[in-house]
Every structure is written in structure tokens, then in C-alpha cells.
Amino acid sequence: MRVTVQSAVLLASVLLSGCAWTPGASPVSHVSFRCRLPVGGYVAGSSNMKPKPDPSGFAAQKGAGGFVEFPTATYQPDAGSDRSYIASSKAWLPVPPQLVGPDQLSYVQSEASGGSSLPTTLYVVDVQTRTKRLVFTASDGEHVYPLDYSAAGVVVMLQDSSKDKRPPDSTMEVINPVTGSHEPVRGTEAGGKHMIPDSWFAVSGSAIWGWVTEGPNDGHSPASRKLIRVSLQDGTPVEWHRWSQGSESASEQVLGFDADDSPIVAIFPKAASGNSYPAPQLVLLKSPNKALAIHTQGGTFRPQVGLSLSYQDRHGTWFAGVDGSIWLYTQSSDFMRVAVVPPRHSRPAVGYDFGARSPVDINRDAWRSIAGPCV
């Protein structure tokens, strides 16, 4: 199962990206199984190390990743790496794992057309030949953003950014990858005059997940932010958890899902001072409004803010940290740091002082993503 969606470690020295690397003295939890985990990296694009964008507008990942071998936790870069990897065909692909088809023979990719700088067309691409087949073109003023490709079809967000739309209107659709026919995803529309859908960000199992902001009915109470699960089978929405905007948390981010499709959430506390980057609290939302604390082993897990970079396979759910750390959450509720991948270049370890720096200052050459299952 795929999910579109991390410990602070001070690296005293970093080897050049063309060499194999082992954690050495860095403490990690050892695993007993043998497999090879594909991981992606990011291409720094400027002197302040912001990720360089690729033609799709996302941070470029071509050639910046490789493989972590278990149980030794050794890392080997791969010059041909990209966003996702299919072991059966030994193919790196330029899209996230959630956009690879269930048979792993094709993937979906959105592109800009007609003079637009934003994606307006959707293609199904053959993994082996890379031939493209057009399956959907957005209406004038609309842009298409694919979210997931599964047996149910391709779930996309259509955003109408016409000049008179402020903010832009967004709707969720599911597209048949063979015929191009499409229909709305039931249950993802606005739920009343006080409820505004913020974003639908992931599909896991038979449901789509999103954030909803609900304003106060009395006009003066704090607004609340809710995590909503909508069944793709019948469109039934269920409130999974609610946070008041007057609470101690500054933000919440769904990082991934466990084997039962329960969300794993990072709750970021409000910064105590300046632009510090406090460590989040991790919780498992096992059922509606039931949160179970997750305790990490091997350090403090710091996710890449705004990015959900996990992957679920038979071993558990894998996560990538902002500092190059690789983590595994298992059925036994262990959240373990199991490997550390170095930055791609020998830069000073300036980006690891989390107590004094915000995420925008962290060395982007250390960022990692999970590109597929460990096989």
C-alpha cells in the first residue's frame, strides 16, 4: 500500500555522494530482515540550499537518491534515481509512489499546456516505453493535480483559478485511466456555511483524507481544524480528530498510515522563542477522536514540514527525516530510527541546530523521501 505522504543527529563528517556510507558510530536500531529500501533526495537549487524545482514545479529529485541495504543499514547512491522506484522492472520514475498504478506497469503525470504554467492535462505513461496517453484535459481556468492512482481510478484535485475566484474553488474527481471518464468524489464538498475544506491530501485504503477548518457558530469562539475521513465507496464523511486553534499546538501534519490505515500524526508545538524548530509529538489516531502516543527509539524524529514522505509495506511504515534519518513504524508500535543517510555534498553541518534554526535553514541536501517498498 502506498501513501502520498522522520531524529536529530549531528553529522560530524560527511562522505562524498559517490561513495557507499554506513552509519558507523551513529546509533540506530538494528533490524533482522534483509531488503533494499529505495530513497530519494533533493537537488539544492541555490546558495541558501532551497530545493531546485523541476518542470512539474516540485522540488527536483533526479539523481539525488539511492538505496539503503538492510540489515547493515549501508547506503549506496544511484545516479539514475528519482521520485519512486519499481523493483520488478528496476525502473526509477519521475512521480511520487502514490501515482504509480496498482499493476506497476504505468503511472500518471500532469503537465502544463496551452501556455499555462500550471498543470492542465493528465497522462497515463507506460513504465517501460515511457509513451504517454492523454486521458484528461481540464476546462478553461482549471488546473489538475493528481493525488492517487489505484484500482478505483486516479483521484485528482481540480482547481478553478479564474480571476473571479478568490480563493480558488477546488473539487475532487476520480478519473477512469482507460476511458478518461470522471465523476466527483462524494463527500468532499463543503459541509455547511461554517465549514471550508482546506485540502484533501491523501488516499489510504478505501478512503480520502483531508483537513477542514470550521468557524465558530457564535462568532467569537476559536475556530477548529478537523481531520476528515471520507469513504470512497459511499461518500460518508467521518470526523477523525479535532484541534482547537486556541490549543497549545501550532499545526498538525499527517505523516502516513499504519497497516490498518490509521493516521500517524505529528503535532507541532508553538515555538517558545524566535524561529526555533521544536520537536513534534507523534500520535496514532486509531479511531475517531482516539489518539495513542507514539514513542521514538534512537532519537527525536523531525519530519519535513509540509511534506508527507512515508511508504507502507510488509515491514511497516517507513519515514524519512529532515536530517537524512530513516525510520520504521511497525505493528508492535515501535517507531525506530534504522538508518542515517548523509547529505549529498560535503557542506558544513550548519543545518542541524534545531533549537536555533527554523526548517527553512536546514540543509536541503540531507532531505530524504521514501521511494518505494523495501524488497
CATH code of 212's domain: 2.120.10
Question: In this structure, what DSSP letter does residue 294 have?
Answer: E
Determine how β-strand 119-126 pairs with β-strand 106-112. antiparallel
Range with lowest mean pLDDT among 87-91, 123-127, 201-205, 274-278 = 274-278
Question: Is there a contact between 40 and 82 (Cβ–Cβ < 8 Å)?
Answer: yes
The answer to whether residue 94 sits within a structural domain is yes
CB neighbours of 368 closer than 8 A, spacing ≥ 6? 39, 40, 41, 65, 309, 320, 321, 324, 325, 326, 341
The answer to whether residue 26 sits within a structural domain is no
Domain count, the chain: 1
Q: Element (H or E) spanning 279, and its range?
A: none
The answer to whether residue 15 sits within a structural domain is no
The answer to whether residue 198 sits within a structural domain is yes
Taking all residues of the chain, what is their mean pLDDT, rounded to a whole number? 80
Q: Average of pLDDT values for 93-100?
A: 94
Instruction: Give the model confidence (pLDDT) of 240-290 as tens digits.
Output: 998 876 656 668 889 999 999 999 999 988 765 555 566 889 999 999 989
The answer to whether residue 24 sits within a structural domain is no
Report the 10 Å Cβ neighbour count for 350: 11
The answer to whether residue 375 sits within a structural domain is no
What range does the domain containing 275 cover? 35-370
Report the 10 Å Cβ neighbour count for 62: 17
The answer to whether residue 4 sits within a structural domain is no
Share of the chain above pLDDT 70, in %: 73
pTM of the model as a whole: 0.84
- Give the pLDDT score at 302: 84
**Residue of 247, 252, 208 whose CA lies nearest to 226:** 252
The answer to whether residue 75 sits within a structural domain is yes
Instruction: Give the model confidence (pLDDT) of 348-367 as tens digits.
Output: 444 444 443 444 445 667 88
Q: For residue 242, what are the β-bridge partners? A: 226
